[in-house]
Amino acid sequence: MGFLTDNADLLWSAFLTTLSLAVTSGVCALVLGTVLAGMRVSPVPPLRGLATFYVEVFRNTPLTVVFFFLVFGIVQIDLSFPSRFIAAVAALSLYTAAFVCEALRSGINAVPPGQAEAARALGLDFGQSLRTIVLPQAFRTVVPPLGNVWIALAKNTSIAAGFAVTDLTAALQRLSNANADQLLLVFAAIVAGYLVITLPSAWAIRVIEKRVAIVR
């Protein structure tokens, strides 16, 4: 166990990096994904087309490729991110937003059309009916799929390890090579780090799902 206390600093900072990567990207992806979902159901064709294009590009591109582009590709057009952590957040957010958008859109489609029609009949415009009538109901039905997206995002952060961010997976690479005699312990510590993030999330998703369930 001495090995774990010796490397406690590294493990703790790696855990915090993974957690902050996941949380920051999660928030950004949720905001961007909601905007995109709104665009995809909007009555304005160019907005719909733009959002559809975005979703199809990012949903169908491997995350590693997105990372590669943001870290090495944009330098070719004289752009760069202030830090590699921010580049990683950008890659994870852009990628995950496409999935958030599609999850939300399925929720919007699940809201009975009568709700939107009633809102229009009461004189609400598109933005108002989306914000106050449709989206609140849509978010309730998409808690489980959004939970899936969140857990996938938490695990996808590991790709940042290959792009100069010292997260849990990077710590795994460093520790497993330096401590050949302690491999199982290294793995156990790293897996525990991820489980600390994902297991409570799964539990929280179940609780939220029950709380906000629509009784019909």
Partner 1 sequence: MRSTRKLAAFAALGLTLAACSSEAGNQAEEEAASAPTVAEEVDFPEGSTMAELAGAGSITVGTKYDQPGFGLLNPDGVPEGFDVEIAKIIAGELGIAPEDIEWTETVSANREPFIQNGQVDMVVATYTINDTRKQVVDFAGPYYIAGQDIMVAAGNPEGIQGPDDLAGKTVCSVEGSTPAQNIRDNYPEANLVTYDVYSKCADDLANGNVQAVTTDNVILTGLVAGNPEGFELVGNPFTEEPYGIGMAKGDDEFRDFINDVLEESFEDGRWADAWDRTAGAITGEEAPEPPTVDRY
Q: What does the binding site for partner 1 look like in residue numbers (CB under 8 A)?
A: 71-72, 75, 80, 84, 161-164, 166, 170, 173-181, 183
Q: How far is the CB of 97 from partner 1 (least distance, A)?
A: 25
| Nearest distance in Å: CB 175, partner 1 | 8
In angstroms, the CA 28 to CA 96 distance is 9
Residue with tokens 């710590």: 171
- Cα dihedral 32, 106, 114, 214 in deg (nearest 10): -90
Minimal CA–CA distance to 18: which of 10, 8, 29? 10
**Contact (CB, 8 A) for 81 and 117:** no
State the minimum distance, in angstroms, from the CB of residue 139 to partner 1. Answer: 37
Question: Is the Cβ of residue 82 or residue 123 nearer to partner 1 in the bound state?
Answer: 82
* Shortest spacing between CB 61 and partner 1, in angstroms: 19
Q: Which is nearer to partner 1, 93 or 158 (CB)?
A: 158
Residue 124: what residue type?
A: L
Give the span between the Cα atoms of 184 and 198, in whole angstroms.
21
Nearer to partner 1, 145 or 162 (CB): 162
Q: In this complex, which beta carbon is closest to partner 1, that of residue 31 or of residue 75?
A: 75
